[in-house]
Amino acid sequence: MDEQRVRERGPAQWWRYGPPWWHRADHGATEPSRSRLPSRSRLPWRSTVVLTVLVLVGSNFAAHQQPHREHLDVPARLLLLATCALLLWRHRHPVPVAFGTAGLALVYLAAGYPYGPIFAAVAVACFSAIVAGHRRAAWAAVGMLWVGHLLISLWLYRLLPPPEDRGANLGLEMIIATWVLIIVSVAELARVRREQWARERADRAQAARRRADEERLRIARELHDVLAHSISVINVQAGMGLALLDSDPEQARAALTTIKAASKEALGEVRQVLDTLRAPGDAPRTPAPGLGRLPELVEQAASAGLTVTVEGEPPRLPPGADLAAFRIVQEALTNVVRHSGSRHARVLLEPGGGELRLRIDDDGPATGADAGGSGNGLAGMRERAAALGGTIEAGPRADGGFGVLAVLPVDDRGDR
């Protein structure tokens, strides 16, 4: 559902969590600043070819503007091609590529060839290394290139071609250093943004998993409450029908009629729960049950031989609180039918003060060790109450019965 909404919102939403091309690469590293990213299945041929053409053409143009430097001969062009060719492996092996391009650029400059776009190849290689998380290696490669160029332009130029080279001054070197810092700073910003995208995607994935777990728990609670109650009624009526089949056929017929009605209702509620799985986001076909159906619970309990007394009027509640209150009463009465020898139960409704107090008591005694239920029902009630910020207290009473007290916070405006 979330992914569908992301697709419907278009490129603006994609860019919030990274540009569109970002999701086509495998960027699954949990710590991009310390770990190496997985290798891409394809080499970046297109970008490397485009950069190679720009470097070759730009170097020719730079050679015409720097006649005092050595001409671009075959070795120079081979150095340019080799430097650019290394960029094909900048994603798989960012550290060797960064040092390799910096070393070839130093050889190119030491040979006296003109300054030009070869530095762009080094910048791309170091950029890729920084973005991949290899910050120290990228800085070391850039530092090696700048220190080597500093030595060549200030001291070693007398021993290296071209013969008429007079070297450079410190002002020019500072300008070059400034450009290097700008390139590295941009790379660092890209790396930080990349890690932010990775964290955002991880947070979104974790939130999606959490919502899926909550939805599974909600559906499990719904199915448990629906099936446990209906099957308990069916079980009691089936036993009664079998016992009276020969002696009182009319009473047995009434038990079978109750079984049919209970099973039909259970099928309808199960279908409603499953519809939410088949069509997420759509409105349910039938309204969710609430305390307005409390008389139906009392009638079903009566058909199972349990007399239920209701004290208090059901208040108007928000849908979530109304459903939770209904399911809590339903599960509590189901436990009385299944696990208590009492044939009488009381339901007390006490709204007010921004909360609803639900008390369900029976007179006991318990018919087994699991007087309050098998555990799943009580756990489901506690989860429903906790989801609304409420509490559940359940346990044996002093007079031998069993009691359930649910406190659910509600909005007082729902009563108006």
Contacts with 103 (C-beta within 8 Å, 6 or more apart), sequence order:
144
* Contact by Cβ (8 Å): 330, 298: no
Q: Which helix (H) or strand (E) holds 94?
A: helix 94-110
- Return the pLDDT at 167: 60
Q: How far is CA 102 from CA 133, 179, 339, in A?
A: 18, 15, 80
User: The dihedral of CA 136, 137, 143, 146: what is its sign?
Assistant: negative
Per-residue pLDDT of the chain (416 residues; tens, 9 = 90+): 444 444 444 444 433 444 444 444 444 444 444 444 444 558 999 999 999 999 999 999 988 888 888 888 999 999 999 999 999 999 999 999 999 999 999 999 888 888 888 988 998 998 888 888 888 898 899 888 888 888 887 777 667 766 666 666 666 667 777 877 787 787 778 778 878 888 888 888 888 888 777 777 777 777 777 677 677 777 777 777 788 777 878 877 777 877 777 777 777 777 766 665 555 555 445 556 788 888 888 887 887 778 889 998 888 888 888 888 888 888 888 888 877 777 889 999 999 888 899 999 988 777 654 544 555 678 878 888 888 889 999 888 887 788 899 999 886 544 44
Question: Whose CA is closest to 102, among 88, 77, 119?
Answer: 119
- Return the pLDDT at 279: 53
Q: How far is CA 343 from CA 13, 306, 401, in A?
A: 60, 5, 11
Rounded distance between C-alpha atoms, residue 128 and residue 95, angstroms: 9
**pTM for the predicted model, two decimal places:** 0.45
Rounded distance between C-alpha atoms, residue 115 and residue 187, angstroms: 23
Q: What would the two tokens of residue 59 be?
A: 């170097």
Q: Residue 326 has what DSSP assignment?
A: H
Question: Whose CA is closest to 333, among 356, 302, 357, 311?
Answer: 302
Amino acid (1-letter code) at residue 220: A
* Contact by Cβ (8 Å): 114, 62: yes
- The three-state DSSP-derived secondary structure of 211-228 is HHHHHHHHHHHHHHHHHH
φ/ψ of residue 394, rounded to 5: -140, 140
Q: Residue 28 has what DSSP assignment?
A: -
* Contact by Cβ (8 Å): 261, 302: no
Q: Which helix (H) or strand (E) holds 4?
A: helix 2-9
- Cα dihedral angle (237, 241, 243, 247), rounded to 10 degrees? 140
Q: What would the two tokens of residue 61 be?
A: 């143009």
* Contact by Cβ (8 Å): 408, 358: yes
